[in-house]
Amino acid sequence: MNRGAVRPEVWDRLVARAHLPGAAMAAAGHELYGPIAQPPGTALVIGQVGQSLDGRIATLAGDAQNISGRDGLVHLHRLRALVDAVIVGAKTAVHDNPQLNVRHAKGPNPARVLIDPRGRIPDDRRLFHDDGARRIVIQAVDRPRPEGVEVIRLGLDGDIIAPHRIVAALAALGLTRLLVEGGATTLGHFCSANLIDRLHIAVAPLIIGAGPTGLALPPVDALDDCVRPTVTAYDLGSDVVFDCVFRPRERYTMVAE
Ligand SMILES: NC(=O)c1ccc[n+]([C@@H]2O[C@H](COP(=O)([O-])OP(=O)(O)OC[C@H]3O[C@@H](n4cnc5c(N)ncnc54)[C@H](OP(=O)(O)O)[C@@H]3O)[C@@H](O)[C@H]2O)c1
């Protein structure tokens, strides 16, 4: 298995390539993070799931803290440091109240994007706190948000806001490198819309036994119809990350409708 460790000087190069205009041509120097540390303006959508050996992201009682080990957490924060914006769904904002900033790696905080179509998430969630990062809500209703929070109003296409319209609206704000952190419903919508370029599944060595899984997709009957991305595994230390790459014909269109 490949090793996911990053030397500090290599990490500095990766962050520079992602955020400093003059460094765009610098070598990335790392198999796992190089494809993500793309120059500003690159269109890229990454998904990330932190899960147990049996594919769970929480207990049935809703305990979702600390599934990932120390190195899995660092990995997640590295991904955040390399993108323009992190996206979460309304239920993650309710259940986890995440900060969505970069604390366990070196690098800038991304913009924080909440998809809250019905405007039901209270203003006191931590992702709304003003720490200098952009804070954005995508909603289908007319609802005021805390001062400084940008609102993108998009209509529903059936039951959901079409993910490609979310990607386009964020691109119009200069946010093209996106990390979809979850939960399963939000990530599933992006996968079904054929928008995820790479999916990082970080597996921690624990077995939960029952509980929600990290990716909600329509069912398939035959294994021949399953998605089979090109996968490379990396040993992070406490966790193993599976870097799943989707070529166009292997994306989720085959199971979406
Ligand atoms: N381990 C991990 O890596 C990880 C990461 C993140 C979250 N989680 C866990 O995931 C769980 C939550 O996942 P979840 O699947 O229940 O919910 P979720 O994906 O966090 O949120 C789903 C909700 O977000 C809104 N939404 C998302 N995309 C939308 C779209 N395209 N159009 C319209 N609305 C959209 C809808 O809000 P409405 O309901 O208002 O319509 C939808 O019901 C939590 O327990 C959390 O701990 C785990």
Q: Tell me the average confidence (pLDDT) per consecutive run of 10 residues in the chain, 257 residues long.
A: 87 90 60 91 95 96 90 97 98 94 97 98 97 98 96 96 98 97 95 95 97 94 92 95 75 31
pLDDT at 43: 93
Handedness of CA 141, 147, 148, 149 (dihedral sign): negative
Q: Going along the chain, which residue ranges are E strands?
A: 2-3, 44-51, 85-89, 111-115, 135-139, 150-153, 177-182, 198-203, 230-235, 240-245
Say if CB 110 and CB 84 are below 8 A apart.
Answer: yes
Q: How far is the CA of 10 from the centre of ligand 1 (A)?
A: 34
Residue nearest atom 46 in ligand 1 by C-alpha distance:
92
Joined tokens for residue 1: 């298995």
pLDDT of residue 197: 95
Report pLDDT for 117: 98
φ and ψ at residue 50, rounded to 5 degrees: -110, 120
Does the C-beta of 85 come closer than 6 Å to ligand 1? no
- Could you tell me the CATH superfamily of domain 40-256? Dihydrofolate Reductase, subunit A (3.40.430.10)
204 lines ligand 1 (CB under 6 A): no
Give distance in angstroms: CA of 45 to centre of ligand 1. Answer: 17
What does the pLDDT read at residue 135? 98
How many angstroms is it from 33 CA to the middle of ligand 1? 26
Atom 11 (ligand 1) nearest CA: 183
